[in-house]
Amino acid sequence: MKLYNLYSLVGALRLFSLINLVVLSISGMYALLEFFLAFKVKEPSLAIKYTFFIVLTSFYVLSPISLALSVLLFLRRIVLRGLDVVAQSIGLSPLRVALMPVVLSLLLSFSNLVLSNDFFPWLMKNVWLIEKNYKKKQETGTLITDFWFVKRDKDSKVYVYVGSLDIRSGTFADLFLIKSGVGTEIQKVISCDMGVWRGNLVEAFYGTEYDFVKGKFRENISGDTIEVGINLKDISLFAERVEHVSFLALVHLYTVGSKVGFDVSPYLGEILYRIGMSLFPLFLVVPVSYSMLRYRSLKVSSLYFLVNASLVWFIVSLLDILPSKAGVSPLPVLFLYGIYLVYILKGIYNLNKGFRL
């Protein structure tokens, strides 16, 4: 069985590599075509950089489909050679026949989940920044994270750091403000845990203030309105999208926002969306493996693949679309997600139990 496991692992990986090569080549050609047709700047170095980021992003999105197709073709080869019948005749379950493809899907799901914390958001952010700066039709973001702003006038300077700021609602977390005079002397320091930014004013929910001019320290400035001198509209150009923020930062934003009643559905939706996308490989490989070993038909298995791919894509997309486009909580979608998860577990149970051919 060790020899068969090695054979199935190498065979599935070889098909996965070939299909990915074709898919990513098409993605690269599409990126180049879009660059030369839709971008204002036609620099070769920028085209290479843009294509590189697009290809890597395409792998994240399309690798589950590529893996499912490679498993479909590999198990089709197993069925044509009758190896599945031989395995079951000596008491091995269909799950043992499809063990390596299922393990590959688990490994890909796990790696996607890990990389969705920082790496994939970084890729999509770079694609977005290039399109924002060089594409003919520019796009704007909705979220600012870990950013410093400086406002200078004749009498003072205001330095503002914000940990996270939602441009749409003005809600923020972790704001730190330093106001200085004409020289280097500090006049005021404000630390605000949470609040709302409206225009050039900030309403503090929790925070402290130290006024060096008056020599006063206020431990609680809840409900105070603070003039920061920087309009919310002026900093919207620096905003990012929610999908560009790391997974752990999204969890932090969701936790902090939930405590004070902020609308955290976009953050929750993005968190659930990334988990759903990460499990996409497993959710496709199990039905494809079951259908091929159960019905031994390429047509039936292809139909299984199309139906399951469409269904999973629909459910996962709802987790992102409902909160970001419609402002609706994604929690009801978890019911559909749970049903599909039970379906996948039932598929694994059936593969392990076996069936009559």
Residues 53, 31: Cα–Cα separation, whole Å:
9
- What's the one-letter identity of residue 79? V
Look at residue 260 in the predicted model and tell me its pLDDT: 56
Strands 201-211 and 186-198 come out as: antiparallel
Tens-level pLDDT at each residue, the chain (357 residues): 678 888 888 999 999 999 999 999 999 999 999 888 888 888 888 999 999 999 999 999 999 999 999 999 999 999 998 888 888 888 888 999 999 999 999 999 999 999 999 999 999 889 988 887 787 665 566 777 777 777 777 777 777 888 888 877 788 888 888 787 766 677 888 888 888 888 878 888 878 888 887 787 787 777 788 777 677 777 665 666 788 888 988 887 788 667 656 677 888 888 999 999 999 999 999 999 999 999 989 999 999 999 999 999 999 999 888 887 777 888 888 899 899 999 999 999 999 988 765
Q: Where are the alpha helices (DSSP H) in 228-332?
A: 247-259, 265-278, 280-295, 298-321
Give the pair of three-digit tokens for residue 84. 């599945």
Those residues whose C-beta lies under 8 Å from the C-beta of residue 102, and which sit 6 or more positions away, are 95, 282, 285, 286, 289, 348, 351
Radius of gyration from C-alpha coordinates of the chain: 26
Contact 344, 102 (CB under 8 A): no
Residues 208, 256: Cα–Cα separation, whole Å:
18
Those residues whose C-beta lies under 8 Å from the C-beta of residue 334, and which sit 6 or more positions away, are 272
The 3-class secondary structure across 58-122, one letter per residue, is HHHHHHHHHHHHHHHHHHHHHHHCCHHHHHHHCCCCHHHHCHHHHHHHHHHHHHHHHHCCCHHHH
Those residues whose C-beta lies under 8 Å from the C-beta of residue 52, and which sit 6 or more positions away, are none
Look at residue 137 in the predicted model and tell me its pLDDT: 61
Look at residue 52 in the predicted model and tell me its pLDDT: 94
308-322 b/e with 16+ CB inside 10 Å = b? bbeebbebbebbbbb
Look at residue 75 in the predicted model and tell me its pLDDT: 94
- What's the one-letter identity of residue 30? Y
Give the predicted TM-score (pTM) of the model: 0.77
Any idea where the domains of the chain sit in the sequence?
A: 2-135+262-353, 143-239
Cβ burial of 54 (10 Å; 0-12, 13-18, 19+) is buried
Residues 44, 139: Cα–Cα separation, whole Å:
23
Give the pair of three-digit tokens for residue 28. 């690269």
Query: Which residue carries 């399109």 as its tokens?
Result: 131
Cβ count near 124 (within 10 Å): 19
Contact 240, 146 (CB under 8 A): no
Nearest-CA neighbor of 319 among 311, 327, 331? 331
Look at residue 340 in the predicted model and tell me its pLDDT: 93
Residues 307, 284: Cα–Cα separation, whole Å:
10
Provide the terminal-to-terminal Cα distance of the chain, rounded to the nearest Å: 21
Query: Which residue carries 């930014």 as its tokens?
Result: 197
